[in-house]
Amino acid sequence: MKILVPVKRVVDYNVKIRVRSDHSGVETNGVKMSMNPFDEIAVEAAIRLKEAGAAGEIIAVSAGPAAASETIRTALAMGADRGILVQSDAELQPLGVAKLLAALVRQESPDLVIMGKQAIDDDMNATGQMLAALLGWPQATFASAIAVAGPGIEVTREIDGGLETLSLPLPAVITTDLRLNEPRYASLPNIMKARKKTIDQLTPEALGVDVTPRLRTLRVEEPPRRQAGRIVGSVDELVAALRDEAKVI
C-alpha cells in the first residue's frame, strides 16, 4: 500500500497571533511556523501502517512557499520516504489545494491519502473531503482509529454523540482527529537521514491546476474582547451572584 500524506506549514500552535494593523490578515512575518498538528497525526498514522507491514512507501507532500520544504523535511524525519513540494507564493485555498493534490494523486497512484482534518490557521476543515470528491473516492473524516481489513480499511470516526465505524474499499481519503495517535518526535539520527531523502519540486502550472482564490478576504478583525469579571470568595457568594446578579440559575 502506497500512502500520500499532505502536510501544511502553519503558524505554530503556541504562538499568540496578531491581526495586522491594516486588517489585511494575520501577521505571519517573523512568526514561528510548524507542521499543522493534525497533519503530524496523519504522518504518524501512515508510519504506523508501514511499521505494521501494511504500507510500503509514504510520500509527504506540501503546497506553499519554498519554506514549506522544511515541513516536508519534518515528515521525512518522522519516517516518510520522500517528499513533493508544489511551490507557490500565491494564496492557496482548500479547493485549489484539493485540485493540486488530485493532480499529484493521478501522478503517484497512492492507495490511501491520510491528512489532517483541519488546519489550525484557516480552520476550514474542507480539503480532505474536497480531494475525495474530486477523485470520486470514498472518505472517512475525523478518524480516531484505522484498521486494515482484507482488501479495504475500517475507520472509526468521531461523530456528534460518539463514534461510528465505516468500511471503505481502497483507494480512499482519511482525515485525522486528535485521538488517532500521539505523533512521535523525530530522533537526531532520523533527522540526519532525512537530509538525504529527496524532495521533488513542482508548480501549480506544471500540474495544470488553476489555484486562483475563490474567496476574497475583505478584512480581518480582532474578535470582541471579553472583560475579566471578578473573583468571588466562596461557593455561597458564587451561587448568590449567579442567582441574583447574572440571573442564570
- The answer to whether residue 197 forms part of the interface with another protein (CB under 8 A) is no
- The answer to whether residue 30 forms part of the interface with another protein (CB under 8 A) is no
Question: What is the smallest separation between the CB atom of 28 and another protein, expressed in angstroms?
Answer: 11
CB–CB of 154/165 below 8 Å?
yes
**C-alpha torsion angle, residues 70, 191, 5, 152 (rounded to 10):** 180
Question: What is the smallest separation between the CB atom of 201 and another protein, expressed in angstroms?
Answer: 26
Output phi, psi for 176, to 5 deg: -95, 140
Question: What is the smallest separation between the CB atom of 38 and another protein, expressed in angstroms?
Answer: 8
Q: Which of 108, 121, 145, 190 binds another protein (CB under 8 A)?
A: 121
Neighbours of 187 (CB within 10 A): 11
Q: Which of 56, 90, 107, 164 binds another protein (CB under 8 A)?
A: 164
Window contacting another protein (CB under 8 A); options: 1-9, 80-88, 159-167, 187-195: 159-167
Residue for grid cell 451572584: 241
Per-residue contact string for residues 170-189; x = within reach of another protein by CB under 8 A: --x----xxx----------
d(CA 156, CA 158) in angstroms, rounded, equals 7
77/140 with CB nearer another protein: 140
50/117 with CB nearer another protein: 117
Window contacting another protein (CB under 8 A); options: 52-60, 65-73, 76-84, 87-95: 87-95
- The answer to whether residue 110 forms part of the interface with another protein (CB under 8 A) is no
- The answer to whether residue 28 forms part of the interface with another protein (CB under 8 A) is no
* Buried-state track 40-78, b at ≥16 Cβ within 10 A, e below 16: bbbbbbbbbbbeeebbeebbbbbbbeeebbebbbbbbbb
- The answer to whether residue 133 forms part of the interface with another protein (CB under 8 A) is yes
CB-count exposure of residue 198 (10 Å: 0-12, 13-18, 19+): exposed
108/158 with CB nearer another protein: 158
d(CA 36, CA 42) in angstroms, rounded, equals 10
